[in-house]
Structure 1
Amino acid sequence: MTRNLVDAEVSPVGQFAILSKYEINKLTGESRGPLYQVFRNCSLAVLSSGGYMDDGKELLEKYADFDISVIPTERNVKIRVKNAPAIAFVDGKMIRGISEHLFSVLRDIIYVNSEITGDPRYDLVSAQGTTDAVFHILRNAGTFNRSRAPRLVVCWGGHSISSAEYDYTKDVGYELALRYLDICTGCGPGAMKGPMKGATIGHAKQRDRHGQYLGITEPGIIAAEAPNPIVNQLVIMPDIEKRLEAFVRTGHGIVVFPGGAGTAEEILYLMGILLHEDNLEQPFPVIFTGPASAADYFIRIDQFIVSTLGEKARSRYQIIIDDPPEVARQMAAGIQEVQEYRKESGDAFYFNWKLKVSTEFQRPFIPTHQNMHDLELHTNQEPYRLAANLRRAFSGIVSGNVKNEGIRNVEKNGPYQLRGDPSLMRSMDTLLASFAKQQRMKLPGKEYIPCYEISAE
């Protein structure tokens, strides 16, 4: 296999603080334990930005000889890479945006390990303790601006989408930016890149030089969804649950484009939170949208939500097909309601403290075969609890589809076994089958082999 590789040293750029000798030693010791592996794998993903790959296991195997070191200097540190993907360089020099992302990885991996994990100030078993941890990680990354009015739109959607759907996400991003709104995504390609790309033109036309393009990811998914080059603020959360909480705490509204299992996971997380009785009165604009060709996709999503979580869930979102200006108008109006609510309630503009996120949505879910088998997938529970369990099921499927550890787990032990109420499992099976048929589970041209089997109890 022919590869173009580069060796280089890079000095700090972007939002990066000085490291202590203790922190540096954690990544330069001879043992190079689990913390180093997380740092290495996330760094390799960043350096692979722009590559056509959505398989974390495949990326790590392709660049098995990639090496990265943190080199202490008199003033700070440098990063040395060996056998790095050449796509990250121009004429032998690392692209500045990729350098910034690389030091964002170092910043967040070190901060979480040194300041969050094991610190008694953060009770990660409690809801408030977890929220405090999410807040401090985001604050350390410099994502907050106290003087900025609400304007951050979270955009969710798949990495494997058609060219028509990708162009549509750009059109929506453009219309949002014309209304002085910013973009936050999962930072990867496809529907995570399109809105940001469109927004750059909208912001340029409005001479808005302070556009925020916030990308939020986590170590398990970053190898399959490498940060796109438009992201100007990258944050690595410790796990998918804290990543999802970061989205809903920082965003002032959410636009959902077509996607696959990962997008379904995000939708179920959001619906579960908005259906909690403590959040019923809080304004939070949610719009499902896509081009005319995606109308059937959203019909199926809507049917699945109503059949599993009930008619009340439908009241928490609106569906707008093939109309980017209307999406932007409705989102701008919804965010204005959010601003008024925050003023009246005394909540911060930059972080939604009043949103209730229960521990069911915060506890990290490890998708082992036993944990997937034991999920309570039945309708005899409160809708928000069912949403939490369905979210875990889709999270496991995402892991088995694209995450290194999940792929290896399925290769070793076979497909995950999901069991539950017959009607619920039929709805889930129908939805997932439609994703596979529309090539939303893997990039086009790649055969999709299901990592799950569904049956009724």
Structure 2
Amino acid sequence: MKRLAVYCGSATPADARFIDAARAVGRHLAERGIGVVYGGGRLGLMGAVADAALEAGGEVIGVIPDALVSAEVAHRGCTQLHVVQTMHQRKQLFTDLSDGFVTLPGGVGTMDELWEAIGWSQLGYHGKPVGLLNVGGFYDQLIGFHGQMIEAGFIRPQHAGILIHADSIEALLAKMADYVPHQPIFAMKADRL
């Protein structure tokens, strides 16, 4: 994996462990020679990931819609900063520029990015690993809900392993490196759907 899209919040939560985790991820990726592709902001977890990766000598590519350049206060220190017109273009560029996805804690936008990466994988738009870093149990309920969707039959057995999760970035990257793409919906026959 040469580059990973990192999805995370642009907010700065009161609990410092989330910012600390974001910094650790940025630093760890840079130290492993893995470039960061992210939302292009300089605030919150976004800024923490970018700053730590840059401080460690890593490549940081920001992708931000024009309408959010002011609202998210675009990070002008990125290795590259792509300003796009729409959120759809932003997510497509995340996918095009990365070899996988790592999701840190965040809000609605982060969830949108995560579920779209999973949905695109199921369909066959990409075969890249989709990782979820469960910082301090933040995603325990989401992981449980994902399991409930599998158990209820809304996620096919062959797609159950798309969402990869771990409590540390080291463990998550190891699992992502072992990821074997599944059979996408586009390649399935009607009787298997």
TM-score (norm 1): 0.35
Q: Determine which structure has greater relative contact order: mean sequence separation of CA pairs < 8 Å that are 6+ residues apart, divided by chain length.
A: 2
**Cα distance change on mapping 1:285 and 1:219 into 2, 3 Å:** same
Contact 2:65–2:84, Cα closer than 8 Å, also in 1: yes
**Cα distance change on mapping 1:298 and 1:230 into 2, 3 Å:** farther
1:169 aligns with 2:35: no
Equivalents in 2 of 1:305, 1:226: separation in Å?
37
The equivalent residue for 2:88 is 241
Consecutive unaligned residues of structure 2, counting only runs of 5 or more, are 182-192
The equivalent residue for 2:172 is 327
Matched residue of 1:193: which SS? Answer: helix
Query: Cα offset for 1:184?
Result: 0.9
Contact 1:179–1:328, Cα closer than 8 Å, also in 2: no
Letter of the 1:212 counterpart: E
Equivalents in 2 of 1:256, 1:305: separation in Å?
19
The equivalent residue for 1:314 is 160
Structure 1 runs (4+) greater than 4 angstroms displaced: 303-309
**Cα distance change on mapping 1:212 and 1:308 into 2, 3 Å:** farther
The equivalent residue for 1:224 is 71
TM-score (norm 2): 0.77
**Cα distance change on mapping 1:200 and 1:301 into 2, 3 Å:** farther
Matched residue of 1:275: which SS? Answer: helix
**Cα distance change on mapping 1:262 and 1:215 into 2, 3 Å:** same
Equivalents in 1 of 2:34, 2:93: separation in Å?
18
Equivalents in 2 of 1:247, 1:238: separation in Å?
14
Query: Cα offset for 1:174?
Result: 1.6
**Cα distance change on mapping 1:271 and 1:295 into 2, 3 Å:** closer
Equivalents in 1 of 2:45, 2:131: separation in Å?
14
Query: Cα offset for 1:293?
Result: 4.2
Equivalents in 1 of 2:112, 2:75: separation in Å?
21
1:299 aligns with 2:143: yes
**Cα distance change on mapping 1:305 and 1:218 into 2, 3 Å:** farther
1:183 aligns with 2:30: no
**Cα distance change on mapping 1:299 and 1:329 into 2, 3 Å:** closer
Matched residue of 1:177: which SS? Answer: helix
Letter of the 1:195 counterpart: V
Letter of the 2:163 counterpart: Y
Q: For residues 390-447 of structure 1, what are the alpha-carbon distances to aligned partners after superposition, in whole Å with 9 as ceiling and x for unaligned?
A: xxxxxxxxxxxxxxxxxxxxxxxxxxxxxxxxxxxxxxxxxxxxxxxxxxxxxxxxxx
**Cα distance change on mapping 1:303 and 1:225 into 2, 3 Å:** farther
The equivalent residue for 1:270 is 117
Contact 2:121–2:127, Cα closer than 8 Å, also in 1: no
Query: Cα offset for 1:314?
Result: 3.3
Matched residue of 2:138: which SS? Answer: helix
Query: Cα offset for 1:303?
Result: 5.3
Contact 2:30–2:59, Cα closer than 8 Å, also in 1: no
Contact 1:186–1:192, Cα closer than 8 Å, also in 2: yes
Query: Cα offset for 1:177?
Result: 1.6
Match of 1:258 among 102, 105, 113: 105
Equivalents in 1 of 2:72, 2:24: separation in Å?
22
**Cα distance change on mapping 1:296 and 1:302 into 2, 3 Å:** same
The equivalent residue for 1:196 is 50
1:157 aligns with 2:8: yes
Contact 1:253–1:334, Cα closer than 8 Å, also in 2: no
Matched residue of 2:114: which SS? Answer: helix
Contact 1:305–1:314, Cα closer than 8 Å, also in 2: no
Letter of the 1:155 counterpart: V
Contact 2:118–2:130, Cα closer than 8 Å, also in 1: no
Letter of the 2:107 counterpart: G
Consecutive unaligned residues of structure 1, counting only runs of 5 or more, are 1-149, 204-210, 339-382, 384-457
Equivalents in 2 of 1:308, 1:233: separation in Å?
42
Equivalents in 1 of 2:134, 2:77: separation in Å?
21
Contact 1:283–1:334, Cα closer than 8 Å, also in 2: no
**Cα distance change on mapping 1:309 and 1:201 into 2, 3 Å:** farther
The equivalent residue for 1:28 is none
Equivalents in 1 of 2:146, 2:44: separation in Å?
22
The structure number with the bigger radius of gyration is 1
Letter of the 1:291 counterpart: V
Q: For residues 348-368 of structure 1, what are the alpha-carbon distances to aligned partners after superposition, in whole Å with 9 as ceiling and x for unaligned?
A: xxxxxxxxxxxxxxxxxxxxx
Equivalent residues, number: 179
The equivalent residue for 1:41 is none
Matched residue of 2:33: which SS? Answer: coil
Query: Cα offset for 1:151?
Result: 0.8
Query: Cα offset for 1:301?
Result: 5.9
Equivalents in 2 of 1:172, 1:236: separation in Å?
24
Letter of the 2:95 counterpart: V
